[in-house]
Structure 1
């Protein structure tokens, strides 16, 4: 009998808490939104942070409803969210300033021809040529990286150079 009375009372208590929160929200949302709008300069962002603050308040309403001024708690949360918004914007701005793209000239015709010629080589010859001539690795370093004997690398380089020379002659 007691458990029936308690379970009947719980939904009524929650309904009462929900109604109290709705009243609190209605009385406070406009003023807080205007304050945050003045701070942020963006109505949409102000509405977002205020609604997020109220959502957090709703989750804690049982506790917050006992405060003298629960709106002060919601205001503090909203301002903290707005400050985080500014911090994220500043960090993004600093990052973007550092990431400015510099204008880089397109490849010259010789580079395009070389890239095309390299693409015709077998993968192991191409890797050896690129690692040796562009990455400036020694034959020993390439051999260690590729897990082959130095003589194999020398062979790849020799065959790769010969194939490149023939390919580049054909293109000219």
Structure 2
């Protein structure tokens, strides 16, 4: 099967990918394919269609490249960016998730609470603790401790 698709595509890696994907799709539908007749023919047709589809994608990529040129080079990651990512990775998963949703996706606390599946108060607590940990890791001044009654001291 791979040899036939390789002859069709002229690229061994593409042929292997197409045949592997065709067999994976056949496995997921095996009862229906086996009942329908010749499973080898089904796999062969699917592999060929996948190979042609990959040709089309490659051709479209080449056309887009010819029209628009190379994509702009990605900006170098600065030391601040690297330090922030390292500090975020140290946070517990629940804190990191609310920080990303709140600050990077710019979701309100209510939306973050719905997505995470907790109360708004829990979101605010996680944000507070995450900010404290990030401030320590990044060498910045931590947020002031909340006053009794839920208010924070003035800055």
The TM-score with structure 2 as length reference comes to 0.49
The TM-score with structure 1 as length reference comes to 0.44
Bigger helix fraction = 1
Quick check: which has more Rg, 1 or 2?
1
